[in-house]
């Protein structure tokens, strides 16, 4: 079955440290992939997308993600965490059926 | 673009009552989606429209749920005879003709007491 898995429901990093949020997909054909961020009681904001052009994708707020077909992964990184990065992050995939399939989310906490 | 808007932002209702939510997509976006998000989970697809046509409904969308997009612009999601299990955040998203990304509204949080 086609699915999205996010390893680590909670991740804590120190301010200024590297942020790494993991996402893997399960599909025989690489889907379109997305990362969204959600702040409390708000909707989802698109951070970046992969659409089979470049494998390294840059997004907003200094985030980037690398698509690795061999690992079926699309991990999200940011070199230096900021307090304002504290939020819930969702990885999502469009498996060619028009709708998004989401992972269960990773809550990112930034330690001052 | 003014973004996707949803109304109301919060709704508290008693079990058994009917509720209706509205979503206004980004102008000229022909695709409109509804998702439901429960606490601690990612959003789950409910249904989507291309223009005014409802093209797919999830099995999550029971007979008590109905969605419309009568003129291909705004959409409404109605829940009849609400149950406590309907308590969730209802998210609307829209997508343009050429893009693949979906843009989300702020959501409507429903609490059924």
- Could you tell me what percent of chain B has a pLDDT over 90? 87
Distance CA A93, CA A91 (A): 7
Question: What 3-state DSSP class applies to B15?
Answer: coil
The answer to whether the beta carbons of residues B31 and B48 sit under 8 Å apart is: yes
Confidence of residue B106 (pLDDT cuts 50, 70, 90): very high
- Could you tell me what percent of chain B has a pLDDT over 70? 99
- Show residues of chain A in contact with B35, CB under 8 Å: 100
Mean pLDDT calculated for residue range B57-61: 89
Q: How high is the pLDDT of residue B60?
A: 84
Mean pLDDT calculated for residue range B92-110: 95
Structure tokens at B55: 């093209």
Q: How high is the pLDDT of residue B71?
A: 86
Closest CB to B101: pick one of A4, A49, A101: A49
Closest CB to B101: pick one of A34, A99, A105: A34
Residues lower than pLDDT 70 in chain A: none
- Show residues of chain B in contact with A46, CB under 8 Å: 101-104
Residues 6+ apart with CB under 8 A from B93: A44, A100, B4, B32, B33, B35, B102, B103, B104, B105
């Amino acid at each position: 079955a086609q699915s999205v898995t996010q390893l680590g429901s909670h991740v804590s990093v120190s301010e200024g440290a590297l942020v790494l949020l993991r996402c893997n997909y399960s599909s025989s054909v690489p889907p379109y992939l997305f990362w969204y961020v959600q702040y409390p009681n708000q909707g989802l904001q698109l951070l970046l997308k992969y659409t089979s052009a470049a494998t390294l994708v840059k997004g907003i707020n200094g985030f980037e993600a690398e698509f690795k077909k061999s690992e079926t992964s699309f991990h999200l990184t940011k070199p230096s965490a900021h307090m304002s990065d504290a939020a819930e992050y969702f990885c999502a995939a469009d498996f060619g059926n028009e709708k998004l399939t989401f992972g269960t989310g990773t809550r990112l906490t930034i330690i001052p | 673009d003014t973004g996707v808007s949803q109304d109301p932002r919060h709704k508290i209702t008693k079990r058994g009552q009917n509720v209706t939510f509205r979503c206004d997509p980004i102008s000229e976006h022909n695709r409109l989606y509804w998702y439901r998000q429960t606490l601690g989970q990612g959003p789950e697809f409910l249904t989507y429209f291309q223009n005014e046509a409802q093209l797919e409904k999830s099995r999550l969308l029971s007979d008590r749920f109905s969605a419309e997009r009568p003129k291909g612009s705004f959409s409404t999601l109605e829940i009849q005879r609400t149950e406590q299990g309907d308590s969730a955040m209802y998210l609307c998203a829209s997508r343009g003709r050429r893009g693949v990304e979906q843009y989300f509204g702020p959501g409507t949080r429903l609490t059924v007491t």
